[in-house]
């Protein structure tokens, strides 16, 4: 059985860290984001097809040197094709029913149980569902008592919402769904394909699960997934190998070969490999990139500091991004603002 993992996006809301790496390789608790997803795959899945576009070489190099226990195929798209186009572009590797998963979702969905649910319902398509509080910010499903989805309603008023359940980013599809997708086109699975499957088959179901669901699409949610998982694992913080920590860590994750000076305090933050933080530094709700250097006495709150950046001693920053290097060719040009609050 195959799983297609959608991992081709630029991850613009996670800049500046996606200027230098594929979004799916961003570390979460010192392991690539995509590894966390692969650990949730059931034994029935023996082949993973990675739909990639941006930074394909990084992803390919990583999986050439790391064994995840599955056959991994890096399937480079000639251009971004959307969720539907990416799935269709991988159809040569599909041998039967298959999963489609988003690389940037960290959740507690039991995919083996989802297969059993799909079988029980004799579904053509089953998607995972998650409840939200503010329905007007999402597209929600209209769902029957037996779990059949009849339509999607985009950003309804609370009083008009048929449910509080949203598409949670995991799909289990029968191969006939591929027939609905025109090859080589930019296609949205959610907006263009799923409504057709609903209308034509009447066998489109929703699988609800409990636990947690985090869309790691922004700097704020990237920090949150770390603090959440640390709490889940009952760890006050996490450090990698070969670190020298002379300061205080709280609800934070530190990579390999990181130096933190005396009387520095790191709170609810993520520090990448080989970063150097001086003495008397305060870091609160920040992400600091690889090989960055933070001078003595700096005070940072809600700040994203890119790889290889240097902050002179005494720097005070809040609600901003630090990136003084060239933006990679072809990277979407978007105005840089308050990336923490986006």
Q: Identify whether residues 312 and 180 lie together within a single domain.
A: no
Query: Which residues neighbour 339 within 8 Å (Cβ) at sequence distance 6 or greater?
Result: 13, 15, 218, 219, 304, 320, 321
Which pLDDT score is estimated for 275? Answer: 98
**Is there a single domain that holds both residue 230 and residue 185?**
no
pLDDT of residue 7: 87
Phi, psi for 302 (deg, rounded to 5)? 55, 50
Alpha carbon distance 256, 273 (integer Å): 5
pLDDT at 334: 57
Tell me the DSSP string of 69-126: SSEEEEEE-SS--HHHHHHHHTGGG--SSEEEEETTEEE---HHHHHHHHHHHT-SEE
Query: Which among 281, 119, 274 has a CA at the least distance from the CA of 207?
Result: 119
**How far is Cα 172 from Cα 151, in angstroms, rounded to an integer?**
17
| 57 φ/ψ angles, rounded to the nearest 5 degrees | -60, -40
Q: Tell me what pLDDT residue 69 has.
A: 84
Asked if 31 and 145 sit in the same domain, the reply is yes
Task: Kindly report the average pLDDT of the chain as a whole number.
Answer: 92
Distance from C-alpha of 270 to C-alpha of 216, rounded to nearest angstrom: 14
Of 167, 199, 215, which residue sits at a domain end?
215
- Whether residue 168 sits in one domain with residue 100: yes
Q: What is the pLDDT of residues 176-194, one digit of tens each?
A: 999 999 888 888 888 899 9
The helix/strand count (H/E) of the chain reads as 6, 27
Give mean pLDDT, residues 3-11.
89
- CA atoms of 281 and 289, how far apart (whole Å): 16
Question: What's the domain count of the chain?
Answer: 2
pTM, two decimals, is 0.91
Higher-scoring residue by pLDDT: 55, 209: 209
Residue 237's pLDDT is: 97
Closest by Cα among 215, 298, 281, 198 to 246? 281
Range with the lowest mean pLDDT among 74-78, 273-277, 317-321?
74-78
**Residue 341: predicted pLDDT:** 37
CATH of the domain at 145: 3.90.550.10
Catalytic (active site) residue 155: yes
Mean pLDDT calculated for residue range 262-266? 98
Query: Quick one: 152 and 284 in the same domain?
Result: no
Q: What is the mean pLDDT of residues 101-126?
A: 96
Q: Are residues 205 and 251 in the same domain?
A: no
Alpha-carbon distance of 226 to 231, in angstroms, equals 9
* Percent of the chain's residues with pLDDT above 70: 97
> Are residue 281 and residue 196 in the same domain, yes or no?
no
Catalytic residue (choose from 121, 148, 151, 155): 155
Report the pLDDT value the prediction gives residue 188, as an integer from 0 to 100.
Answer: 86
Is the pLDDT score of 259 beyond 60? yes
% the chain with pLDDT above 90: 74
Q: What is the pLDDT of residue 333?
A: 72
208-227 tens-digit pLDDT: 999 999 999 899 999 999 99
Mean pLDDT along residues 50-73: 87
**Beta strands at 282-284 and 125-131: parallel, antiparallel or unpaired:** unpaired
- pLDDT of 337 > 60? The answer is no
pLDDT band for position 48 (50/70/90)?
Answer: very high
Query: Exposed/middle/buried for 166, CB within 10 Å: 0-12, 13-18, 19+?
Result: buried
Element (H, E) at 32: strand 31-32
Distances (CA, A) of 144 to 151, 169, 207: 10, 20, 12
Residues 225 and 93 in one domain: no
Q: Does 187 share its domain with 227?
A: no
Per-residue confidence (pLDDT) for residue 338, from 0 to 100: 37
* CA angle at 277 for the pair 272 and 282, rounded to the nearest 5°: 105
Domain that holds residue 309: 220-341
The pLDDT of 247-261, averaged and rounded, is 97
Q: What pLDDT score does 321 carry?
A: 97
> pLDDT tens for residues 274-287?
999 999 999 999 99
In 10 A of CB 201, how many CB atoms? 15
> Are 210 and 227 contained in the same domain?
no
Are both 63 and 207 inside the same structural domain? Answer: yes
For residue range 116-175, list pLDDT tens digits in order.
Answer: 999 999 999 999 999 999 888 888 999 999 999 999 988 889 898 999 999 999 999 999
Claim to verify: residue 28 and residue 72 sit in the same structural domain:
yes
């Amino acid at each position: 059985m195959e799983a297609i993992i959608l991992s081709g996006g630029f991850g613009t809301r996670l800049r500046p860290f996606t200027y230098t790496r594929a979004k799916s390789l961003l570390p979460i608790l010192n392991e690539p984001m995509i590894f966390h997803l692969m650990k949730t795959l059931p034994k029935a899945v023996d082949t993973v097809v990675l739909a990639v576009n941006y930074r394909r070489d990084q992803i390919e190099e990583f999986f050439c040197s790391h064994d995840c226990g599955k056959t991994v195929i890096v399937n480079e798209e000639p251009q971004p094709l959307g969720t539907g186009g990416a799935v269709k572009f991988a159809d040569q590797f599909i041998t039967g029913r298959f999963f489609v998963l988003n690389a940037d979702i960290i959740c507690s969905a039991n995919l083996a149980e989802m297969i059993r649910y799909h079988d029980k319902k004799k579904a053509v398509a089953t998607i995972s569902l998650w409840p939200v509080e503010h329905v007007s910010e999402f597209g929600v499903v209209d769902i029957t008592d037996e779990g059949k989805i009849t339509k999607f309603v985009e950003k309804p008023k609370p009083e008009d919402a048929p449910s509080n359940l949203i598409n949670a980013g995991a799909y289990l599809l029968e191969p006939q769904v591929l027939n609905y997708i025109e090859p080589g086109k930019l296609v949205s699975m959610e907006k263009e394909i799923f409504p057709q499957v609903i209308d034509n088959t009447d066998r489109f179901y929703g699988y609800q699960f409990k636990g947690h669901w985090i869309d790691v699409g922004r700097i704020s949610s990237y920090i949150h997934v770390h603090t959440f998982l640390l709490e889940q694992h009952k760890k006050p913080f996490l450090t990698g190998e070969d670190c020298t920590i002379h300061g205080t860590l709280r609800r934070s994750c530190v990579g390999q070969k990181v130096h933190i000076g005396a009387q520095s305090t790191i709170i609810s933050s993520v520090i990448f490999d080989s970063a150097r933080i001086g003495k008397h530094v305060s870091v609160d709700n920040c992400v600091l990139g690889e090989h960055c250097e933070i001078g003595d006495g700096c005070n940072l709150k809600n700040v994203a500091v890119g790889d290889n950046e240097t902050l002179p001693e005494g720097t005070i920053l809040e609600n901003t991004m630090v990136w003084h290097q060239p933006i990679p060719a072809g990277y979407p040009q978007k105005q840089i603002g308050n990336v923490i609050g986006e």
